[in-house]
Amino acid sequence: MENNKKNALLRTENLKEYFKISGKGYLHAVDNISLEIMPNETLGLVGESGCGKSTVGNTLMRLLKPTNGKIFYKGEDITNPSKKKKLELTKKMQMVFQDPYSSLNPRKTIRSILSEPFLINKAASGIELEEKVNALAKRVGLEEYVLGQFPHELDGGKRQMVGIARALAMNPEFIVCDEPVSALDVSVQATIINLLIDMQKEMKLSYLFISHDLSVVRHISDRVAVMYLGQIVEIAKTDTIFSNTLHPYSVALLSAVPKIQFGQEEERIVLTGDVPSPMNPKPGCRFAPRCWMACEECKNKDQHLAEVEDGHYVACMRWREVREKTAGQAWKKGIEVEHE
């Protein structure tokens, strides 16, 4: 753990992001998250809609000012960076969005869009700029003619390639990929995922990979963090989290992963019970009202992430019983199971 902290590319310490909702109080979108992302690592971030995944990504990118807690980049506190530092960090930390369309200026050609990072950072001009943009497009597999086109002339896959190329322009070290394939046809999802994997190998990138698609997350991630109502409830190596799932919420979420080949049709995950509100949460385990393992104590006592096995952290005091109850279940061994 200490070693991870020291060597992490990016690290958060008790990160909180609360939104003030007038007349109602505070919405705890991210509530006390401490995590590390190592160099050249992909950390998958999963959880139901609204659990706070994008808010984690946006806060790491400092698109939001943290309510509390700290963010460190290579050991340096970047929670409140100066303007100069912010610009420096923009080169090293980038974001790939679900649909880059909204962030691609419709009146500009792809060449002009891909030139921007070089111009803003005064990294190239004239012929050199042209060559750099050509090389960037080639790197992500965009044909040269695309550079003369406008965003609306491209299909979703090509637009996402432009989004990725733009993120890569300044040779970043860390990229938040926020649902980068969920708006794409299944047929092009694999192309984009493979591109991200290739770029990671080539450029030694680290990714925070946010997705509700567990098959994709399983395919791309080195480790997976499971989020529930603003908190991380379990984090472990990808194989471990699927084969030795210890939090009752992760069990509910991950046991529903269809055992299909990546890239094919997906199945939706349905959890029963009401999702409690992230507004002014009550003390006690947040999953307790929906939990199949909950006892009286869980309802009153906060659960904190604890390392229960090497590199495997769980926020549930009943993790041993969860393991016993789910031992030998088909989904843990990768066998297809029926879901309601």
Instruction: List interacting residues with ligand ATP (CB under 6 A).
Output: 19, 27, 29, 47, 49-55, 212, 278
Burial string for 316-329 (b: 16+ CB within 10 Å, else e) reads bbbbeebbeebeee
| Nearest partner of 164 among 185, 137, 182, judged by Cα | 137
| Nearest-approach distance from CB 56 to ligand ATP, in angstroms | 7
| Nearest-approach distance from CB 270 to ligand ATP, in angstroms | 15
Q: Which is nearer to ligand ATP, 9 or 51 (CB)?
A: 51
Residue 81 neighbours by CB under 8 Å, 6+ apart: 62, 89
| Nearest-approach distance from CB 131 to ligand ATP, in angstroms | 38
In this structure, what is the dihedral angle of CA atoms 235, 237, 242, 244, given to the nearest 10 degrees? -80
Q: Which is nearer to ligand ATP, 140 or 232 (CB)?
A: 232
Could you give the CA distance from residue 332 to residue 255 in angstroms, rounded to a whole number?
7
Q: Which is nearer to ligand ATP, 49 or 82 (CB)?
A: 49
Q: Kindly state the greatest CA–CA separation across the chain.
A: 69
Burial string for 78-87 (b: 16+ CB within 10 Å, else e) reads bbebeeeeee
| Nearest-approach distance from CB 61 to ligand ATP, in angstroms | 13
* Cβ pair 331, 269 in contact under 8 A: no
Q: Which is nearer to ligand ATP, 163 or 278 (CB)?
A: 278
Three-state SS for 101? helix
| Nearest-approach distance from CB 279 to ligand ATP, in angstroms | 8
Could you give the CA distance from residue 160 to residue 295 in angstroms, rounded to a whole number?
46
Could you give the CA distance from residue 303 to residue 288 in angstroms, rounded to a whole number?
10
| Nearest-approach distance from CB 52 to ligand ATP, in angstroms | 4
Q: Which is nearer to ligand ATP, 115 or 250 (CB)?
A: 250
Three-state SS for 86? helix
Structure tokens at 103: 């962030």
Q: Which is nearer to ligand ATP, 53 or 132 (CB)?
A: 53
Q: Which is nearer to ligand ATP, 197 or 275 (CB)?
A: 275
* Cβ pair 106, 152 in contact under 8 A: yes
Structure tokens at 331: 């989904």
| Nearest-approach distance from CB 18 to ligand ATP, in angstroms | 9
| Nearest partner of 162 among 183, 176, 187, 141, judged by Cα | 141
| Nearest-approach distance from CB 7 to ligand ATP, in angstroms | 28
Q: Which is nearer to ligand ATP, 44 or 278 (CB)?
A: 278
